[in-house]
Chain A
Amino acid sequence: MSLLEIKNAHLKLDDKNILNGVSLSVNKGEVHAIMGPNGSGKSTLSYMLAGRDGYELEEGEILLDGISLSEMEADERARSGLFLAFQYPVELPGVGGMSFLREAVNSRRNFLGKKELDHLAFVKEARKEASKMFVKDEMLKRAVNVGFSGGEKKRFEILQMALLKPKVSILDETDSGLDVDALKIVSDGVNAQRNNENAIVVITHYQRLLDYIIPDFVHILSDGVIIKSGGPELALEVEKNGYSGLINAA
């Protein structure tokens, strides 16, 4: 059974068809890349999966580890192990990073029937993971994403992923706005979390990220449908010929 199953997903925003029958199966241990030009529906797909208000399916179904997500609110989906690294992480003025992380981790632990971590245990764990992402203590004391640079925001997203240990992670343009050094840190962070029990869906516009996070499968999304699927070589084809060649061929 696949860990994430998207069956014929249709979705409208403002009466405009955005997703027009997306289907995708992601198994444990796999990394999938979804590529597509701007406006092809990549972020919409990620919001739909995460259960954002207003992004309800018109038609189709999504299953996480065999369980239908359609009836679940965004927070339930998250606690069940679905994680979304945002293309544009949101600022939360006044909300301290450390306490935000702790609330998030404890919600997930509660769901899993694990004991909540006390303050000390949590801080230890958070610091350990943070140092891997080169996130300094000082940054955890600041308000979530407020005044963070582009790179800091993305590192903070991946730190959350590391702490929450989701079953399926969707990374929406995690590479955008990163220089090469930052890209390397973020990719290392993601790769460190690949294992046989989870799965990762990397959404990106550029092939560059896929040199660092090497996918098992690549899908091309255009106008809300997957027009082509293949291995890593498909990404190189995009790099060489651009999207238009592929889209015209389809």
Chain B
Amino acid sequence: MNKNNITNPLERRRVQFGYSQNDISKLLGITQSQYSRIEKGISDPNKHLKKLSDIFNCMPNEVFQGEILREIENDFINDPKNSFQRLFHKRKSGYVHLNIQGWFTKKQVINNYKMLINELEDWKVNEYGIRWKWLTMDEPNWAMVNFPKIDFQDIYYYSAPKTKPKLNSLDEVDPELLKTYEKLGIPIKEQEVLAGVAVDYVFDSVSVATTFRDKLADEGIIFCPISEAVQNYPDLVKKYIGSVIPIGDNYYAALNSAVFTDGSFVYVPKGVKCPMELSTYFRINEQNSGQFERTLIIVEDNAYVSYLEGCTAPQRDENQLHAAVVELVAMDDAEIKYSTVQNWYPGDKDGKGGIYNFVTKRGNCLGKRSKISWTQVETGSAITWKYPSCVLRGDNSVGEFYSVAVANNAQQADTGTKMIHIGNNTKSTIISKGISAGKAQNTYRGQVQIQKNAKGSRNFTQCDSLLIGDQCGAHTVPYINQHTPSARVEHEATTSKISEDQLFYCLQRGLDTEQATSLIVNGFCKEVMKELPMEFAVEAQKLIGISLEGSVG
């Protein structure tokens, strides 16, 4: 339905906000046919005007007026900042006033999310504005990935994440999954937790996490779900959220901004070196924060943190679309090391049932001599669309991107980075290792931009592709925009195959084909793997081997 052709203003609003008649009738607590009569102007709307005005972000007397919407629309579009701060501001000035708690409470209570929603009220107040922003945008089509058109109205992005079914013992777990756990060397206890078996020591892990947080609190470090941060540190959150990735940055970021449920918040105060690696594994609430995660990490002057995201165990999820947003902010002499191992379900051999992973990650090197490193090992998902980037604003700041992307069978990966050099003498390094097997397509897409004032800046990019078999593809798409002559940009790219000589040499030493492939592939990725924290690297290495199983020989 083309929303521009609708002349009935109420209907037009409803469609623009992405609701069905059924949705609205539920919000109003009436039947669909009752609502339909209101929309058509047959029944008296008076009783529902207040609620409708809440839903549609307008004054009660405007519910049936189409024009006001256009005004707000322009307001949003024309505002270059278009960020969360602004929305907060609007809220304060009373211009945008919404109360949608009723709607969410109902949904969320069912899903044990009441608490969260109460805390998030302030956010959700702005929900419609943000969501609406997303509705005005088009899906990007420049990535080298193919998939059936997603029916975004059909996705449960407004419902709380689905809980995994609780199982009684490992016997009920998919044997394929168990086999993989075993190969990864995951202890039985952890296997049970991962697979969602109802066991007592889930509570152990909660208490471990609590002790862990106490220890961090001693150092003044905040590490908690972002929903808690909103409540406990609203000023911090408001100041920085959306400051690195504006709401309208891209289609999926807008979607995340509209509907995000939870995620991590990290704050490291001045001069503090975080004494341990922070892992989402230890975060309470982890299980269900799933589909539209939002992460914000702020590291003050002279402080340091290493953050680990994901785990090597295969993650199955009922939610097919994942669109996370991660924002990092580093002040003077601060350093953030962000490591990811992504192993979402890639789907079957034809990619059926696999996860679409559309992530926006960006770090802002705001301070002088600040440093942000992204390290990622991407083995999962049917489609990966991901470009962790650095904005090098502070003089002498440093951005790094180390990536291994494995694509097997029908997987498609379009991943890379953006390095935006703004400050003087800024430096960036990009090391990308793409591995393709089966019929997979693997694309490196990277942008290096040296702004006018970024004098003496340097970038080094190295993109290596490894092909296994002859049905797969590797593509390298570098964009280089250099606006200052004193900068130096170097780009190297290679494409190679696992040679028959190499395989035979390994086999002759008694390694089987899989061991040999895994060894050669891990050798190919070594420069990236050595950037991962120790334990993570060992697991990631095994994981890469497993992801490529059956692709050779």
Contacts and interface: CB of A to CB of B under 8 A. Distances in A.
Contacts of A160: 509
Contacts of A143: 523
Contacts of B507: 51, 73-75, 78
B253 interface: no
A100 B509 contact: yes
A50 interface: yes
A94 B522 contact: yes
B524 A94 contact: yes
A170 to B, nearest CB: 10
Contacts of B171: none
Interface of B: 499-502, 504-513, 515-516, 519-520, 522-527
Given A95-B519, A95-B520, A95-B523, A90 B502 contact: yes
Interface of A: 50-53, 73-75, 78-79, 83-84, 86, 89-96, 99-100, 103-104, 107-108, 111, 143, 160, 164
B403 to A, nearest CB: 16
A53 B520 contact: no
Contact of B509 (A91, A93, A96, A104): A104
Contacts of A92: 502, 505-506, 519-520, 523
A166 to B, nearest CB: 10
Given A75-B512, A94-B525, 19 more contacts: A73-B507, A74-B504, A74-B508, A75-B507, A78-B508, A83-B508, A90-B501, A90-B504, A92-B505, A92-B506, A92-B523, A94-B526, A95-B523, A99-B519, A103-B509, A107-B510, A107-B512, A164-B509, A164-B510
Contacts, number: 73
Given A92-B519, A103-B511, A104-B510, A52 B504 contact: yes
Contacts of A83: 508
A107 B515 contact: yes
A47 B512 CA distance: 17
Given A92-B520, A94-B523, A103-B519, A75 B513 contact: yes
28 contacts: A50-B504, A50-B508, A51-B507, A52-B504, A53-B504, A74-B504, A74-B507, A75-B507, A75-B508, A75-B511, A75-B516, A78-B508, A86-B505, A92-B502, A92-B519, A92-B523, A93-B524, A94-B522, A94-B523, A95-B519, A95-B520, A95-B522, A95-B523, A103-B515, A104-B509, A107-B509, A107-B510, A143-B523
A158 B336 CA distance: 46
Contact of B510 (A75, A86, A89): A75
Contacts of B504: 50, 52-53, 74, 90
